[in-house]
Amino acid sequence: MKRHLGHQALIIAVAACSYFTALGATRLWDEDEAFFATAAAEMHRHDDWIVPTFNEELFAHKPPFMYWMMRLGFLMFGVNELGARFFSAVFGIATAIVTYHLGRRLFDARAGLWAALALSTCLMWSIVSRASTADAYLGFFIALSLLVYARAVFAPREDTEAVEVPVAPSLAATLDRWVPSGWTTMAGIYALMAFAVLVKGPIGILLPGATIGLFVLCQTPSPSQIGDGLLKRGIARLRTMILAFPATFWRMRPLTAIAAVLLIAGPWFVAVAIKTDGAFLNEFFGVHNFGRFLKPMENHRGPIIYYIPVIAIGFFPWSIFAMPTALHSAFAPRDRSRHLFVLCWAGWMIGFFSIASTKLPNYVLPAYPALALLTGSWLAAWSARKDLLSARWPKLAFGTLATVGVLLIASLLGAPRLEIGGEPLLSKLGVNAALAPDLGRLFWLGFVPLAGGVIAIVLATRERRVAALWTSMAASTLFTASVLIVAAIALNPHQTSAPLASAFHRAGDSSGGAVQVGSFRHSPPSLIFYAGQHVERLKSADDAAGYLSGEGPRFLVTTDVGLKQLEAESDKTIRVIDRRPRFPRTGDVLLISFDRTETSGARTIEQAASEIPEMR
Are 427 and 506 in a shared domain? no
Which residues lie across from 592 on neighbouring strands? Answer: 556, 576
Along the chain (616 residues), what's the average pLDDT of each consecutive run of 10 residues? Answer: 89 95 94 94 96 95 96 96 97 98 94 96 96 97 98 78 63 90 93 97 96 94 70 83 92 95 97 95 89 80 92 96 91 79 96 92 96 95 84 92 95 84 81 89 95 95 93 94 95 94 82 82 94 93 91 90 90 90 92 71 39 39
Report yes or no on 615 lying in a domain. Answer: no
For residues 452 and 564, membership in a common domain is answered with no
Angle at 37 between CA 31 and CA 38, to 5 degrees: 85
Instruction: Compute the distance between CA of residue 416 and CA of residue 110 in angstroms, rounded to an integer.
Output: 43
Strand partners, 331: none
Which residue, of 355, 389, 423, is where some domain finishes?
Answer: 389
Shared domain for 44 and 77, answered yes or no, is yes
Are 106 and 118 part of one and the same domain?
A: yes
Distance CA 252, CA 97 (A): 27
Q: Does 138 lie in the same domain as 265?
A: yes
245 is a domain residue:
yes
221 and 102 assigned to the same domain: yes
Residues 106 and 139 reside in one and the same domain = yes
The predicted pLDDT at position 430 comes to: 85
Last residue of a domain, one of 389, 421, 449: 389
Tell me if 424 is assigned to some domain: yes
| Amino acid at site 444 | W
In this structure, is the dihedral angle defined by the CA atoms of residues 487, 489, 493 and 495, taken in order, positive or negative? positive
Whether residue 213 contacts residue 251, with contact meaning beta carbons closer than 8 Å, is answered with: no
**Distance (Å, rounded) from C-alpha 488 to C-alpha 492?**
6
3-state SS, residue 366: helix
CB neighbours (10 Å) of residue 614? 7
- 471 and 410, same domain (yes or no): yes
pLDDT for 225: 59
Same domain for 101 and 229?
A: yes
Question: Rounded to whole angstroms, how far apart are CA atoms 63 and 201?
Answer: 7
Alpha-carbon distances, residue 28 vs 17, 57, 81, 414, 490 (angstroms): 20, 20, 6, 28, 14
Residues 6+ apart with CB under 8 A from 613: none
How many structural domains are present in the chain? 3
Q: Does some domain include residue 375?
A: yes
Best CA proximity match to 375, nearest among 313, 321, 333: 321
- Which of 389, 421, 452 is the endpoint of a domain? 389
150 plus 186 within the same structural domain: yes
Q: Are 533 and 54 in contact (CB under 8 A)?
A: no
Range of the domain at 484: 396-494
Helix, strand, coil shares of the chain, percent, nearest 5, are 65, 5, 30
616 domain-assigned? no
Asked if residue 160 is part of any domain, the answer here is: yes
Is 555 found in the same domain as 455?
A: no
Q: Is residue 9 part of a domain?
A: yes
Residue 472: Cβ within 10 Å count: 27
Three-class secondary structure assignment of 510-550: HHCCCCEEEEECCCCHHHHHHHCCCEEEECCHHHHHHHHCC
Are residues 104 and 30 both part of a single domain? yes
Instruction: With respect to residue 289, please indicate whether it lies within any of the assigned structural domains.
Output: yes
pTM across the whole model: 0.92
Alpha carbon distance 593, 499 (integer Å) = 16
**Residues linked to residue 57 through DSSP beta bridges, in sequence order:** 54
